[in-house]
Amino acid sequence: MGNLNLKFSKLTIPGTSNFYSTASNFNSTIRVQADFTNGSPTVTNVVAQPGWNGFGTGSIVTGMFLVSSGEVGSSTRITDYNSGTNTITLAANATATATNQTNVRIACPKGMYILESASISKQGTGEPNDMRDITGSSDSEYVAGDQKWGIIAQQAFTTATGASVQGNFSQYDILSIENREGSNQANLIITASDTFAPFIEPVDSLAVSSTTFMVSSYVSESLMSMASANDLDLPQGFGFAAWNNSVANTLAAFTSGSGGGAAFPYTGSAEISGSIDMTGSFSTLLNSNEEFIIKNALATSQSLFNVNQEGVAEFRARIGSDGAPTPKLGGMYFTTSSAFIGVE
């Protein structure tokens, strides 16, 4: 892999009315017309609500909430959406039958946000030049293996969703780009991660309704870029946010046994230089054609002790030029023709 150059910029939306979340503009996100059947989780004939000027069916994403007074309980999760058949599957059955039901509301759950009419404000030159350089991981333009794009947003506590917490930021993946308008305006759907620790939104906070964000490229399952305040035209907190969030998670993974694949328990090849202290039991598992070897650091081709896959322990046989080692009580060494054991 060549040297990767992470890209970043300031991203803005016109106002807080263009920020949609579970706490902001919840009831004015998406409106559709649909049919419900009592006792069934399937919602059929889902079409844009006539006269609605907000988001339509093209912005429906699995995981969003659906609300329809009288037909479903409050905020029922969407488990599937088929745009070809205009069908939504819910996590719970409808409680009443309705045809051509209007004012069916669909909105973002916690951890998912829509940024409407977002645009790039790049300092200097280089990518991203405008919104055409940015794709979401579910876009048709996105190619697996390409650098992904994400958003850094300031946080607020769930107990005071309108009050930003200084120095508190989270990272979000850009899931998709909706309704590109010209070269530098589009709607973004962003989402937190369920598995990668630095992208998991804390349970007690959410992205605060704001008009400014940092957009950055990153490598899959990795960290976003650092940037200076002058390069971003944003407070320095945005530029340090990705790494501040990640340091604790990364260090915790290296210093505990709960880090999953990034830490211990560890599977694979590793090279440790220096001393290592262990407390507790130590097991070495040998598969076919694998060996446990202790080598001379001054002559790495020289094996001092080896256990092969058959369980046979092999000591290095000393030759004449090696001379005799210092006798040790309980010690043992071999030559090509003799074995020596240290006793009183």
Tens digits of pLDDT across the chain (344 residues): 445 677 888 899 999 999 999 999 999 999 999 999 999 999 999 999 999 988 989 899 999 999 999 999 788 999 999 999 999 999 999 999 999 999 999 999 999 999 999 998 888 777 788 888 887 766 666 666 667 788 899 999 999 888 888 888 888 988 888 877 778 888 999 999 776 777 788 899 999 998 899 888 776 556 677 788 888 888 888 888 877 766 666 666 555 544 444 455 556 666 667 677 777 777 777 776 777 777 777 776 677 777 777 778 888 788 877 788 888 888 888 888 888 888 87
H-state helical runs in the chain: 229-232, 236-255
Given the structure tokens 């009831």, which residue do they identify?
A: 27
By C-alpha distance, which of 207, 195, 142, 141 is closest to 169?
Answer: 207
* Lookup: tokens for 197: 């620790």
Instruction: Give me the pLDDT at residue 261, please.
Output: 47
Please enumerate, as own/partner, the contacts of 249-254 that have beta carbons within 8 Å and a separation of 24 or more: 249/197, 249/198, 253/197
Spatial separation of the C-alpha atoms in residues 89 and 147, rounded to whole Å: 32
**Residues 110, 23: Cα–Cα separation, whole Å:** 8
Name the residue ranges covered by the structural domains of the chain: 8-13+111-255, 30-107, 292-341
* Cα→Cα distances 18→24, 29, 109, 113, 143, Å: 9, 10, 16, 10, 29
